[in-house]
Chain A
Amino acid sequence: MRLQPTLRDVMGALAAEGHLDRTPREDLAPALAAATPWYLTALMGLGGWVAALFLLGFILLAVSSAPPPFFLVAGLFLCSAAVGLRFASGHPFVGQLCLAGSMAGAALVIGAAGSMAKSVAAGAGAAIVLEVGLVVLYPDRFRRTLSAAVAGGAFAVLMARTEQAAAMDIGISLLAWAAGGWWLARSSIERTDFHVLHTPVGRGLTLSTLATLLVLLMAPVAGLGHKRLLPGWLTGVGLTLGLVALVALLLHEQAAAQAKRAMVLGATLALGLVTLQTPGVAAAAAVLVLALRHRDAVLLVMGAGFLSAFGVAYYYNLQVTLLVKSAALLGSGVLLLAARHVLLVGEDSP
């Protein structure tokens, strides 16, 4: 299943429409260098994490008796220096140094803010402000993705601190809608001066939504967090509404016939109802549909990976019995297989 069109496809279409005299084969080097392969990004990101942890360990041990404001100033200095240096040079060595510096700096700022106010919520608030700033200012796709994910996660922490199940449910739904809305606005955002923000912010918000769901499910099993914050039916309703709205917009985009719209929306709603107590299914379905719409392989991997991790977390979730879980999973699975059957009626399936 090939997701994105290739340069050959696009160049061919441009040539056919008279926008291009020839395929610029000799000018392809900059285009190829413009995108770093995912595994290189992963290696550099992982290296940045490890270096940041050592740097953080060094700072905390070297000046362990310093008051929290010192760490706040040191963290802000590290973040500012990292942003300035990264703008000045794109060399991979400098990039790694800045990445590690900005990560260690952000951890210092968040920890110091929480410590000074003696409040986790203050730390989460500082994380949102700082990471939103880094999303805009730090010129690196990986760091922007991470910043968006941390900001989304900090928002979830703020909701969790209310210790109200409804606030948590609404918080997850808001995160999911923000991620979905951001992806749907791709065509508009990519044509503005902020185009570099679109993909990293979209992936970061998606990651924070899925990670929040997983953490909430697993936390009580690991003896952390409160059972009352477990994603409940209200999360299911929020995510189902998001999924139905997403599917409705995509059907509108395809100018689908009324009968087809009603059938697809009905099936989507049925999926949401069957899995109200299993909100991971609707979340994964939305991410996978968005991945296909935007031909984004990273989103596809994120959705598939989340579905697997969710299955494991859901198995250990003590809120409902295995029999109820079994019915929800079996029901949603059969529904999707039936939907495929309807989709392919009269067609040759792959």
Chain B
Amino acid sequence: MPRDPLDVAATPERLRALARTGALSPEALDRALDIVFAPPTAAAWRRSLSVLLLAVGAILAVSGVVFFFAYNWADMARMAKFALLAALIAAGAFGAFHLGPERFSGQVTLTSAAMLVGALLAVYGQEYQTGADAWGLFVGWAALILPWVLVARFPPLWLIEVLLLDVGLMAFWSQVATPGRILEVAPLLFALNGVAWAAFEVLDHLETPWLMGRWLPRALAVLALGSLGVPAVATIIVPREIGPTGVLALLLLLALLPAVYAYFRLVRRDLLMLTLALTGAMSLFTTFAGRVLFSDLDAEVFGFFLMSLIVLAEVGGAAVWLMREARALREP
């Protein structure tokens, strides 16, 4: 939410609302709609198209390379595959530093090279059938690209790094540490995502210019809270099957959600985070109500009716509450 109300997007709905209050005359509204519906200028088109063509072009080209190696062309020599991928990665890295890692074009090029590192590791596993577990690929990939992630200062690349570590950790837990009991990784997963979330909240607080808004801290918050949410919900439904890890996740979440709400209400003023915290709390309560109605009380038919009323009351109440909070957050 922009700090100054004048910095919100001028949507037709907002302009019509202003006209209804008399703040805009009919002529002024007509002219305002002209401005809003006007096509972008040639310079604006060039700017946005250059970003779009680069991002989509890079995604398609990297996907094409990944598909090519997934085809596993038998006629292509092993070393030729490695050489081709290594050459592409090197070209990407040199290209990025030539373009400048602080510029969008350099950052996208470096991100493409980072993605190809994963392809190289996958081809290595494909060619040598090392029998290594998948976690090694993801953790190795994350480790190899870390210097580029640090240099690029590009939020999407940071998100890729965190996701690779997440997948690596989950694969390690399910394949090596406690096979078949993936939910037990939740506290570690939360710790990993939580540290990343906290770090990027600090960077956002310091108004770090390369953060591109608040989307990365918010995405990391979803990952952190989600990593506790899954075992917590499972614990409510089938407590005996999940064990102490689920109880720990539930307790952590119950402690964390009010703290998140208080922090983003009183200190950072972020309505999306308030919505996220409230959604988490509602998910836990709805699951609990469902368990009581369907499992403990065996309510069956009437249970469905009550559940629909509970969800309606929760979401309706949350909407009223959050709209009130939105007004309060706009106060200076």
Contact = CB atoms under 8 A, between A and B. Distances in A.
B136 to A, nearest CB: 23
B315 A334 contact: no
B105 A350 contact: yes
Nearest to A32: B5
A224 to B, nearest CB: 24
A223 interface: no
Contacts of A151: none
Interface string A64-102: 000000000000000000000000000111111100100
B91 to A, nearest CB: 13
A97 B39 contact: no
B31 interface: yes
A218 to B, nearest CB: 17
A156 B317 CA distance: 37
B27 interface: yes
Interface stretch (B7-15, B188-196, B238-246): B7-15
A344 interface: yes
Among B22, B103, B311, find the residue whose CB has the most chain A CB atoms closer than 10 A: B311
Contact of B272 (A37, A95, A344): A37
B319 A281 contact: no
B6 interface: yes
Among B18, B99, B323, find the residue whose CB has the most chain A CB atoms closer than 10 A: B18
Interface stretch (B52-60, B158-166, B199-207): B52-60
Given A17-B31, A39-B272, A43-B315, A343 B53 contact: yes
Among B15, B31, B45, B316, find the residue whose CB has the most chain A CB atoms closer than 10 A: B316
A24 B29 CA distance: 13
B14 A7 contact: yes
A32 B46 contact: no
B319 A34 contact: no
A51 interface: yes
Interface string B253-265: 0000000000000
A97 B6 contact: no
A233 interface: no
Contacts of B73: 323
Interface stretch (B78-86, B141-149, B300-308): B300-308
B20 interface: yes
Shortest beta-carbon contacts, A-B, top 3: A330-B64, A47-B315, A333-B61
Interface stretch (A55-63, A119-127, A237-245): A55-63
Given A35-B11, A349-B105, A10 B35 contact: yes
Nearest to B32: A10
B174 to A, nearest CB: 21
A332 B27 CA distance: 46
B308 A329 contact: no
Contacts of A51: 308, 311-312, 315
Contacts of B305: 54-55, 58, 62
